[in-house]
Amino acid sequence: MSNATVFETTRLILKPTDLDDATFIYTLVNTPKWIKFIGDRKVKSISDAKTYIATKMLPQYKKLEFGNFTVIRKSDGVKIGSCGLYDREGLNSVDIGFAFLPDYEKKGYAFESTQKIKELAFSEFGLTKVLAITLKENLDSQKLLKKLSFKFVKNMNLPNNPETLMLFACKASSLPV
């Protein structure tokens, strides 16, 4: 992202994920829900987390000037989750994603941060459509996507992934005026 732009919401700071977030990313990607609903990223150490950030997250920032954001609670500076926009193979548009540590679920943080990322997709990054994918079993994710005005499109598979995913989409015109 140009000059590592940081964004804010009422309760949260959204900063581009960088190597300083390795300990947090290590913890997040090894939570039971991440492994169940997103997949095991084989991040088994802080060093692996640094490699994951360097090879999976930072190159997209350089290419597209957006990507994964670490979500930080303003009240105490604690890193609580991540959300962002991802250029995934097999999708014809950018995909929005989110994940939070268990202690910070069901508190509105996912909605608040992801709503901000969705708004930025259209207002700052010039996208006209944003996609989202989730497993059929991930009812919480589906509920949040619907609350964010995403509409179910179809079931699909990504390349080299046998799991059937639900594809959702949201167009810029669905933003409030």
Work out the pLDDT band at 4, boundaries 50, 70, 90: low
- Boundaries of domain holding 106: 2-174
The sign of the torsion formed by the CA atoms of 5, 89, 131, 34 equals: negative
Checking if the pLDDT of 174 tops 70, the result is no
Give the number of domains in the chain.
Answer: 1
Q: With b meaning 16 or more CB within 10 Å and e meaning fewer, what string describes 142-172? A: bebbeebebeeeeeeebeeeeeebbbbbbee
Beta strands in 53-138 (DSSP E): 68-73, 79-86, 95-100, 129-135
Q: Are the CB atoms for 99 and 82 separated by under 8 Å? A: yes
- For residues 70 and 81, give the distance between their C-alpha atoms in angstroms, rounded to a whole number: 6
Amino acid letter for position 105: E
Name 97's Cβ contacts closer than 8 Å, sequence gap at least 6. 38, 83, 84, 85, 86, 132
- For residues 1 and 7, give the distance between their C-alpha atoms in angstroms, rounded to a whole number: 12
Checking if the pLDDT of 1 tops 70, the result is no
Amino acid letter for position 149: S
Q: What is the mean pLDDT of residues 87-104?
A: 94
Reported for 136-143, long-range contacts at CB under 8 A and 24+ positions apart, including other chains, are: 136/164, 136/166, 137/37, 138/37, 140/105, 141/37, 141/98, 142/166, 142/168
pTM: 0.92
Residue 140 has what pLDDT?
Answer: 95
pLDDT tens sequence across 22-72: 999 999 999 999 999 998 999 999 999 999 999 999 999 889 989 999 999
Checking if the pLDDT of 12 tops 70, the result is yes
pLDDT tens sequence across 101-160: 999 999 999 999 999 999 999 999 999 999 999 999 999 999 999 999 999 999 999 988
Checking if the pLDDT of 173 tops 80, the result is no
Checking if the pLDDT of 13 tops 60, the result is yes
Check which CATH number belongs to the domain holding 117 and give it: 3.40.630.30
